[in-house]
Amino acid sequence: MMALAAVCLAAAAQKPGQPSWLSEAVFYQIYPSSYQDSDGNGIGDIPGIASRLDYIKSLGVTAIWLNPVYVSGWTDGGYDIIDYYQVDPRFGTNTDLVELVKQAHARGIKVVMDLVAGHSSDQSEWFKQSSQAPDLRYSDYYIWPSFIPESGPDPSLLRKFVKTDAPRGPYYIKNFFDTQPALNFGFANPDPSHPWEQPVDGPGPTAMRRELKNIMRFWMDKGIDGFRVDMAASLVKNDVDKAETIKLWKEDFTKWFDEEYPEGVLIAEWFNPSQSLEAGFDIDFFCHDGQYNYSTLFFYGRRGRDGQEPTVPYFDQSGRGGLQTWYDLYKFQYDAAQGKGYVCMPSGNHDFNRLCTEGRTDPAQLKVAMTFFLTMPGVPFIYYGDEIGLKQNPAAPPTEGSGGRAGCRIPMLWDGSANAGFSTAPIDKIYIPQDPDPNRMTVEKAEEDPNSLLHYVRSLVRLRTQVKALGTDASWRLVSPLDQPYPMVYERKQGDERCYVVLNPTGRTAQILLPPDPGTPTLIGGSYRSCTYRHIRRGDAIVISPESAAILKF
């Protein structure tokens, strides 16, 4: 079978003027409530994270991203912010955060905070004041419709009108939950018959832009290294094609940020890099949401795009998955990103099922998947615990607005002591139950096993650093044919250096015949029982053992 994915995707280029450290970065996402509790109340905190910095550094990580640590109403896991300028007492103080940054920097680790730009908590003083009268300082920080229109440019917006008995009522516009009123960045093409629709340069949106810059400046001047922006595409309302939102970021926020903080990074939660990178962000995610996602690679039991029934994911032992859907979506985004920034595929995050989930819990399977995440282009993001195979806990009860997401936010497992070293609190005070498996993997166990996933992840991070062809800026092309998805073979190349990555997540030996290559590669990494590469008369044959990954260098 010689029909190949024909398009060679060009080398990723740095965004002009991007932070000098970004090309070598490896991120580690920490959900602060779940990482390490230092004061015995059952909830993780900032001093707890600081106490684990040496472990984080041992992974080869160069940057951490913290989910929100601001004062919150905790109706959406910290994404309903009451005070953008204060650390929530559950995590510590502003001083504790500054100390964490100092300790991280001393170890060569950057610290990136979450920035919720599109909405606040309904408990915010801004919203409380805005709800009272139209002529106060924060009155125009929010949007107060007087009626629900029968139709509009963005029908989904009409479902975000919240009935209220506040003096400013009868409605406000939310962003996600009712407790998260949308901040007012204006409307695309305001309707004159809707007096609440201010233009993007109206008084409310102008004041809101100034406030958001103040928040960013406040934390950047305390030493942090940038922001991951939650729901970054949600700012301008009725902006169906996102043209006004792109313009707002590009001509104001990202332009200002790059000038003020040239070494600071801006990461979008937009899930459409073709738009977000055009808006001036350095990174956007290709993972679980929106049209452009990797659901066909990793997700069990979720509907596909356009309401299609769930399919077996590619990274499953059965070998019944495919690559075509993912490849088409990824190729479009990768091409669109050239010269503008990075398309990044994280190993997981706080909003979707963990990599180690039903159907994929064997360390051999996880090693194949982590090989993929850590040898693809873009900046790697490792979700805390994925490096040890921290399991999804489907029995975790909804907590602080998590709904079904609680199972991926469970506390970290460190050792064999009570609560696996996460907290000294009584077990019934741990804010989300940990993995109940008595044989659960911990960092301590993984450290003692030379064949553990933890040691393997460290080896991949080192290899990525040592071999530029496996790095962030090297080119990528799919070498194997799309109509024969197992094994997946792709090429990474930078300058004269070239590698093949071979992935076989199935439970059986896989082989592929490729066009002849003049080079003879050497195995330099991976997790496999056997992998052979032979020149034969009809081309080059690769045979790889079940549940295996191999990295070959030419």
Band the pLDDT of 404: cuts 50, 70, 90.
Answer: very high
Per residue in 303-339, pLDDT (tens digit) is: 445 555 667 999 999 999 999 999 999 999 999 999 9
Q: Quick one: how many helices (H) and strands (E) in the chain?
A: 14, 20
State the residue for tokens 């159907």: 359
Residue limits of CATH 2.60.40.1180 in the chain: 483-553
- Torsional sign, CA 37, 40, 42, 43: negative
Helix (H) or strand (E) holding 225: none
Domain 22-117+205-465 has CATH 3.20.20.80: yes
Q: Residue 429: pLDDT above 50?
A: yes
Q: Which amino acid, residue 480?
A: S
Question: In which residue ranges of the chain is CATH 3.20.20.80 found?
Answer: 22-117+205-465
Model confidence pLDDT, tens digit, residues 232-290:
999 999 999 999 999 999 999 999 999 999 999 999 999 999 999 999 999 999 999 99
What DSSP line would sit under 449-486, residue for residue? Answer: -TTSHHHHHHHHHHHHHH-GGGSTTSEEEE-S-TTS-S
Residue 1 clears pLDDT 70, i.e. is over it: no
Burial of 518 (0-12, 13-18, 19+ CB in 10 A): exposed
Q: Mind giving me the DSSP string for 93-121?
A: -HHHHHHHHHHHHHTT-EEEEEEE-SB--
Q: Does residue 487 have a cis bond before it (omega within 30 degrees)?
A: yes
| SS (HEC) of 141-168 | HECCCCCCCCCCCCHHHHCCEEECCCCC
- DSSP letters, 194-220, are -TT--BTTSHHHHHHHHHHHHHHHHHH
The tens digit of pLDDT for each residue in 351-398 reads 999 999 988 999 999 999 999 999 999 999 999 999 999 999 999 999
| Rg of the chain in Å (alpha carbons) | 24
> Residue 15 — very low, low, confident or very high, per pLDDT cuts 50/70/90?
confident
> For residue 399, is pLDDT > 90?
yes
For the record, the structure tokens of 217 come out as: 């400046």
Region 422-430 average pLDDT: 98
State the average pLDDT for the chain.
95
Q: If you average pLDDT over residues 157-163, what whole number do you get?
A: 98
CATH class, range 483-553: mainly beta
SS3 assignment, position 66: strand
The mean pLDDT value for 491-509 works out to 97
Q: What pLDDT was estimated at residue 295?
A: 93
Closest by CA to 265, choosing from 236, 215, 229, is 229
Q: Quick one: which H or E segment has residue 324?
A: helix 324-337
What pLDDT is attached to residue 13? 41
